[in-house]
Every structure is written in structure tokens, then in C-alpha cells.
């Protein structure tokens, strides 16, 4: 089995929204904000190569929205989804499975593409697309809090393609890949867990967006149920310490992974670096 980090670009989100009630005087020690109080974040995906399977976890924001939409987020950086796949040696047609941790636009936008005539189609035509049933219903019938994050053009074409399947905690695509579910950030978010040569790598999605979000109370303003996120983080981080998990971050603009340790002041990030530093 091989793992490939797939970078799909950088974007900006309001620092206050990303840190909730945490004061800027604290979070600004870890993240630099621009003149509009926006912080740069990654949209980092992961490709799992195993035998005849190529499993892509999340797809970034894509490029089919209009200029006005992207102006809110200042999409930048040199990397994009398809060129990053090409660097790893693959074409969109090679992907066999796409696991969408959740359907917020920055995680699933690249799953569907738009041609020059405005026609929508699957970016990965030969892939099975995986979501979670409860989450899918929430995305199709969004609450007012999340409505702006669930874009129909990212979601409906997947259903119409007939290639949508739903994941639960017993789903098996390959033996080395299992799934947990989290319900604090959004209902039914998928947390992929990869067993790689005896090491456990956890794709954090939006449960823990970056190492600076490891402290229990540091939750995002975007989280639907903040107290649920705190409980989910508390349970997960204890397990991560006990089992030496490698946390893979989708959103930190510089740090791909870290491990965690117990300290007198709580659980904190320990070793930090790129994925290759942990698995080579």
C-alpha cells in the first residue's frame, strides 16, 4: 500500500470563525491573520493506493464556482486537484473510490466538474462515491446554519450518477481502511482511519482542523454542536495518546501531521511534520 498527499490549493477563512470563542490574542500566536482577519488554510487530500484500488479522501473546493464565490475565500497557492493527482502518476479515470468526509464545499467541491457549456459531471467517472446517509440527508435538506456550505451543484450530480454509496462503521473498501463517525462539526462526518505498516493514521477532516485546534475548548465557530465536538475530541485524543496515532490534517497550511502526548496541562501536539516523516 502507498499513500499520496494530494494538495488542492489554499484558501482563506475568518480567524474568528475558525477559532470560535478563543480570543485572537491567543490564536494569533499560531496563525497569522491578514488585514481582513482571514487566515490561510490548506485543502489537503489523501490518496490510498492498494492493489487495484485508488481511494481518494476528499477533493478540495474544485473550480466550478464563479468569481464572486471565490472572492470570499481568495483561493491561492500553486497546487490544484487534477495536477496534484498527475504528479502522483494518476488520471481522474484511475480513481476507484472517492470518500467524502462531509459535504461542505471545501471538502467535496472537486468531486463534480463543470465543462465550458456549464454541464456538470463527475470528476472521477469510474469511481464509487462514498458519503454517510444521515449526513447526506442533512446536506440535501440543510439547516439555516449550514445552508451556505452545502451547494447543490456539488451534491445532486453524485446522486443522479447512480454511483453514490453510504458508509457506516462496518464498511470495508480495503481491510486497511476503516471509518469512525463524528457528529459535532456536522451530522455524520466520516473520519477515515488507515492502518499503514502497523501505524495508525487518522484523517482528521474537521474534527481537529490543525494542531492549534487540539486543546479541547478550541473549537470552530463553524461547528454545529460545539459541546459534542469537545466530547468527541476528548475521547479521540485519549485514544490517540494511548495508541500513538498519527493525525493527518486537512486544513493546516504548513503542517501535514502530528502525534500527541499527555502533559500536566492536557494533551498537546508532539512531533510535527510531513506524512513522509512518519511513515518512511
Residue 248: give its domain's CATH number. 3.60.15.10
Q: Residue 187 above 90 pLDDT?
A: yes
Confidence of residue 167 (pLDDT cuts 50, 70, 90): very high
pLDDT on residue 280? 85
pLDDT on residue 191? 98
Q: What end-to-end distance do the CA atoms of the chain give, in Å?
A: 13
- Average per-residue pLDDT in the chain? 97
Task: Give me the domain span that covers residue 201.
Answer: 2-279
For the packed helices 152-161 and 133-140, what is the interaxial angle rounded to 10 degrees? 130
Of 133, 127, 138, nearest to 98 by C-alpha is 127
Number of domain units in the chain: 1
pLDDT on residue 47? 98
User: What's the CA gap between 226 and 220, in Å, rounded?
Assistant: 8
- Which residues is 49 bridged to in the sheet? 2, 54
pLDDT digits (tens, 9 = 90+) for 143-162: 999 999 999 999 999 999 99
Query: In the chain, what percentage of residues exceed pLDDT 70?
Result: 100
pLDDT on residue 168? 87
Sheet holding 38-50, edge to edge: 2-14, 38-50, 53-57, 97-99, 128-131, 164-166
Q: Residue 169 above 90 pLDDT?
A: no
| 3-state SS class at 247 | strand
Residue 210, phi-psi category: left (phi > 0), alpha (psi -120 to 50), beta (remainder): beta
Q: What is the mean pLDDT of residues 122-142?
A: 97
pLDDT digits (tens, 9 = 90+) for 15-45: 999 999 999 999 999 999 999 999 999 999 9
Confidence of residue 205 (pLDDT cuts 50, 70, 90): very high
pLDDT digits (tens, 9 = 90+) for 93-109: 999 999 999 999 999 99
By DSSP bridging, strand 177-182 and strand 189-196 are: antiparallel
Q: What is the mean pLDDT of residues 199-206?
A: 98
Amino acid at each position: 500500500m502507498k499513500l499520496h498527499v494530494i494538495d488542492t490549493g489554499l484558501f482563506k477563512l475568518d480567524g474568528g470563525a475558525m477559532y470560535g470563542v478563543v480570543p485572537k490574542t491567543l490564536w494569533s500566536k499560531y496563525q497569522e491573520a491578514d488585514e481582513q482577519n482571514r487566515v490561510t488554510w490548506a485543502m489537503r487530500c489523501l490518496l490510498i493506493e492498494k492493489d487495484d484500488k485508488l481511494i481518494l479522501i476528499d477533493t478540495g473546493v474544485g473550480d466550478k464556482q464563479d468569481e464572486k464565490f471565490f472572492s470570499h475565500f481568495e483561493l491561492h497557492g500553486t497546487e490544484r486537484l487534477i495536477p496534484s493527482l498527475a504528479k502522483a502518476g494518476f488520471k481522474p479515470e484511475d480513481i476507484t473510490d472517492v470518500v467524502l468526509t462531509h459535504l461542505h464545499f471545501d471538502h467535496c467541491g472537486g468531486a463534480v466538474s463543470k465543462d465550458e457549456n456549464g454541464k456538470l459531471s463527475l470528476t472521477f467517472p469510474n469511481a464509487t462515491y462514498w458519503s454517510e446517509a444521515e449526513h447526506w440527508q442533512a446536506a440535501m435538506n440543510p439547516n439555516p446554519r449550514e445552508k451556505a456550505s452545502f451547494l447543490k451543484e456539488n451534491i445532486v450530480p453524485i446522486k443522479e450518477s447512480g454511483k453514490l454509496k453510504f458508509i457506516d462503521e462496518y464498511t470495508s473498501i480495503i481491510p486497511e481502511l476503516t471509518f469512525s463517525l463524528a457528529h459535532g462539526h456536522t451530522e455524520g462526518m466520516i473520519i477515515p482511519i488507515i492502518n499503514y505498516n502497523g501505524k495508525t493514521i487518522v484523517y482528521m477532516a474537521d474534527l481537529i482542523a490543525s494542531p492549534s485546534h487540539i486543546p479541547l475548548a478550541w473549537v470552530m465557530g463553524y461547528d454545529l454542536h460545539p459541546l459534542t465536538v469537545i466530547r468527541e475530541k476528548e475521547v479521540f485524543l485519549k485514544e490517540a495518546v494511548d495508541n500513538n496515532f498519527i493525525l493527518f490534517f486537512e486544513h493546516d497550511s504548513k503542517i501535514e501531521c502530528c502525534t500527541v502526548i499527555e502533559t500536566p496541562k492536557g494533551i498537546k501536539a508532539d512531533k510535527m511534520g510531513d506524512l513522509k516523516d512518519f511513515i518512511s
